[in-house]
Amino acid sequence: MNFKKFRKFRRNVKAISPVISVLLMIAVAVVASLVVYAWVMGFVGNKTNQVGKAIQIQSVARIGTTLSVYTQNVGDSPVTFSSPCIYINGTAATGVSGTPALGQSIASGSTVTFTTTNTINSGDTVTVKVASTDGTFSQVTHTIP
């Protein structure tokens, strides 16, 4: 290969003009900022839908061999519970009943009592999670006396 022709060819290759390169950089920056904006707004939009909904497990008690969980709506909006709404050690509880009944909305400040047919023994340490139909939840770890 003739190196003189190669050098001559290499000198004739032109790069992008500075104006085009600046326009490309601006376009990339605008697209990146739009993607970040869309992601942030989607994230914030999902979180603002849940504002005002909060529940708290007030106490966990063993009555006989069953478990009673007292849960209060501490948020500003009503919450609804449907089965399964109680999880004991990560597994859905069996035979859950509620007062008021499952499927009814619980007003702000109200308390619901859930009873399960899971057998709980004295001395057991259980992790109890209560979840509403919209995903609001509360979780406690309790040692049964």
pTM score, two decimals? 0.60
pLDDT in tens, the chain (145 residues): 555 665 665 655 566 788 888 999 999 999 999 999 888 877 666 555 555 788 899 988 888 878 888 999 888 888 888 878 888 888 888 888 877 777 888 888 888 888 888 888 788 888 899 988 888 888 888 888 7
Residue 26 exposed, middle or buried by CB count within 10 Å (0-12, 13-18, 19+):
exposed
Residues forming a β-bridge with 60: 69
For strand 137-143 and strand 125-131, is the pairing parallel, antiparallel, or unpaired?
A: antiparallel
Give the SS3 label for residue 118.
coil
